[in-house]
């Protein structure tokens, strides 16, 4: 789906008109290349379609209000010093509550005479000062000044679009919590009220209702046949008893219909031990299939883990997974093992096979744990994210980090990977010192920067961005 950005072209009247016209064409060219829909003043609405006076601000704000339901963010471009009040007044009058990116054009050393001079380097500082005074949060480009059509600004705009998706998505997110959290897992407790205050709703469903509804699905139900065919097409199910596959399929039908009825974006499930004791399967493969469809599903009723998966998905447009920070990797301090029984989306497991869960099987009977996914995630970039409610402080907080998955040898079962994160020991000390959960969401993309920006600047969450300076410089 195409994204829509409102555009404010700042202008001070005594600078050359050609600079404003060129900026307008640059914006339209880049938006066309990136598939972005613009909402901006026509050249006949104000002088060159720019904002340089109070009257211009009113007209621009009126245009934005007319399109506010489809505007994802705002680009402020300064081809010259701009009018600092005009930009801030436009945003205030529009009533928009979306991310704002501020860009300023650079001057050329040989063109500082009145016919070419921009002074946007200075004007950007003044615009940001006014936005701060008005209480309007904003995002900065990597470089203080940059051309619209440069590769570096294109990267900035790509990240900004991710920020817009995360902010819009999380402010209205709907998470489903199925069953009670496992009694042994205090770590997945959370504050539903703190989430609701941030616009994030949680809809609950008792596990008994799911199992009861699944039991009522007839062996001749066409929904069951369709879901069984989907499971066989999704992963290697050889060796899985037919009755276990049927139970998995019925479970999937009930959960997906409940999600659709309640417009849920993600789920967190009670994956053990009631399911194995009372139903006789693991739900990992079912969760994996939902995550692969961009309906992320977290185990152990980790609602904020599911929210973390959803945030990563919004930023990257790709499926997320929930993993355990599980094992050290020998003496290599920047490497560790990521693991789950496992419920990772097929994107992470090209060799996915439906098997049992040996660890749970030691106490619940391995024959009751069919449905776990086994596979190894290949090497590539990875972003980590964790959202958590700090109930004692009455706040939501988060951390993000980037690293890479490696091809290092790993002889174990389940969904698994080896990760390398620069400064991993420092990150793990932070996780432990601040009392974060042992679960972390991952995504096979590099999106720590827009996540950190969305969480901290626009959602107001305390956010730790691991190795932020290295990533910005990179």
* Whether the predicted pLDDT of 345 surpasses 80: yes
Q: pTM for this one?
A: 0.97
Q: What is the separation of C-alpha 416 from the centre of its chain, rounded to a whole number of angstroms?
A: 22
Beta bridge partners of 322: 441
Residues 255 and 203: beta-carbon distance below 8 Å:
no
Beta bridge partners of 298: 268
**Per-residue tokens: 125:** 């500082």
Pick the CATH number of 174-473 from 3.20.14, 1.10.3470, 3.40.120, 3.30.70: 3.20.14
pLDDT in tens, 72-85: 999 999 999 889 99
pLDDT in tens, 270-318: 999 999 999 999 999 999 999 999 999 999 999 999 999 999 999 999 9
* Whether the predicted pLDDT of 474 surpasses 50: no
Measured CA distances, 115 to 9, 11, 14, 214 (Å)? 19, 15, 10, 74
Query: Residue 470: its pLDDT value, please?
Result: 73
Q: In what order do the strands lie in the sheet with 100-104?
A: 37-39, 4-9, 73-78, 100-104, 139-140
Average pLDDT of span 163-187: 96
Average pLDDT of span 317-331: 98
* Topology of the domain covering 4-170: Rossmann fold (3.40.50)
**Per-residue tokens: 275:** 């399911």
Query: Residue 112: its pLDDT value, please?
Result: 72
**Per-residue tokens: 191:** 């504050």
DSSP E strands, 61-123: 73-78, 100-104
pLDDT in tens, 141-154: 999 999 999 999 99
Residues 298 and 263: beta-carbon distance below 8 Å:
no
Smallest CA-to-CA distance from 282 within 364, 380, 396 is with 364
CA-CA distance, 322 to 343, in Å (whole number)?
Answer: 8
CA-CA distance, 233 to 398, in Å (whole number)?
Answer: 37
**Per-residue tokens: 281:** 């399967």
Query: Max CA-CA distance within the chain?
Result: 82
Kind and range of the H or E element at 153? Answer: helix 151-170
Query: Residue 115: its pLDDT value, please?
Result: 72
How do the domains of the chain map onto residue ranges?
4-170, 174-473
Crossing angle of the two packed helices 222-234 and 284-292, in degrees rounded to 10: 80
By residue count, the chain amounts to 474
Measured CA distances, 369 to 247, 275, 291 (Å)? 12, 9, 20
**More confidently predicted of 15 and 303:** 303
* Whether the predicted pLDDT of 116 surpasses 90: no
DSSP E strands, 226-319: 266-269, 297-298
Query: Residue 473: its pLDDT value, please?
Result: 57
| Band of pLDDT at residue 254, cut at 50, 70 and 90 | very high
Crossing angle of the two packed helices 17-34 and 151-170, in degrees rounded to 10: 60
């Amino acid at each position: 789906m195409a994204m829509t950005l409102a555009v404010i072209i700042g202008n001070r009247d005594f600078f050359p008109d050609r600079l404003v016209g060129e900026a307008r064409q640059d914006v339209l060219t880049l938006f066309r290349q990136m598939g972005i829909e613009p909402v901006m003043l026509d050249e006949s609405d104000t002088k060159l379609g720019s904002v340089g006076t109070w009257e211009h601000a009113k007209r621009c704000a009126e245009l934005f209000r007319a399109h506010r339901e489809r505007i994802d963010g705002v680009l402020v471009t300064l081809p010259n010093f701009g009018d600092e009040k005009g930009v801030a007044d436009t945003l205030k009058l529009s009533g928009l509550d979306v991310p704002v990116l501020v860009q300023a054009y650079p001057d050329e050393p040989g063109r500082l005479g009145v016919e070419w001079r921009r002074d946007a380097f200075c004007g950007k500082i003044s615009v940001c000062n006014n936005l701060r005074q008005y209480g309007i949060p904003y995002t900065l480009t990597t470089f203080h000044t940059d051309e619209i059509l440069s590769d570096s600004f294109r990267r900035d705009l790509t990240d900004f679009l991710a920020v817009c998706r995360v902010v819009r998505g999380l402010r209205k997110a709907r998470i489903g919590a199925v069953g009670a959290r496992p009694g042994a897992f205090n770590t997945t407790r959370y504050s539903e009220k703190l989430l609701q205050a941030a616009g994030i709703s949680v809809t609950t469903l008792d596990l008994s209702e799911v199992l009861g509804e699944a039991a009522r699905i007839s062996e001749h139900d066409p929904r069951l046949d369709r879901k069984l065919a989907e499971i066989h097409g999704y992963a290697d199910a050889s060796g899985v008893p037919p009755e276990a596959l049927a139970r998995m399929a019925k479970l999937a039908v009930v959960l997906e219909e409940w999600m659709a009825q309640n417009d849920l974006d993600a789920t967190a499930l009670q994956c053990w031990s009631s399911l194995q004791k009372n139903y006789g399967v693991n739900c990992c493969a079912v969760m994996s299939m939902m995550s692969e469809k961009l309906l992320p599903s977290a185990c152990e009723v980790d609602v904020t883990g599911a929210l973390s998966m959803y945030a990563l998905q919004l930023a990257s447009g790709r499926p997320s997974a929930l993993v355990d920070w599980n094992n050290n990797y020998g003496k290599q301090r920047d490497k560790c093992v990521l693991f789950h029984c496992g419920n990772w989306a097929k994107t992470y497991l090209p060799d996915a096979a439906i098997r049992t869960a040996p660890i749970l099987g030691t106490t619940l009977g391995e024959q009751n744990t069919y449905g776990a996914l086994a596979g190894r995630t290949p090497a590539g970039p990875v972003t980590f994210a964790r959202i958590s409610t700090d109930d004692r402080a009455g706040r939501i907080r988060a951390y993000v980090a980037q690293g890479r998955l490696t091809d290092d040898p790993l002889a174990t079962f389940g969904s698994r990977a080896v990760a390398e994160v620069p400064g991993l020991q420092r990150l793990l000390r932070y996780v432990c010192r601040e009392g974060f959960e042992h679960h972390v969401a991952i995504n096979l993309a590099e999106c720590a920067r827009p996540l950190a920006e969305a969480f901290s600047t626009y959602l107001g969450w305390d956010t730790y961005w691991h190795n932020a300076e290295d990533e910005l410089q990179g």
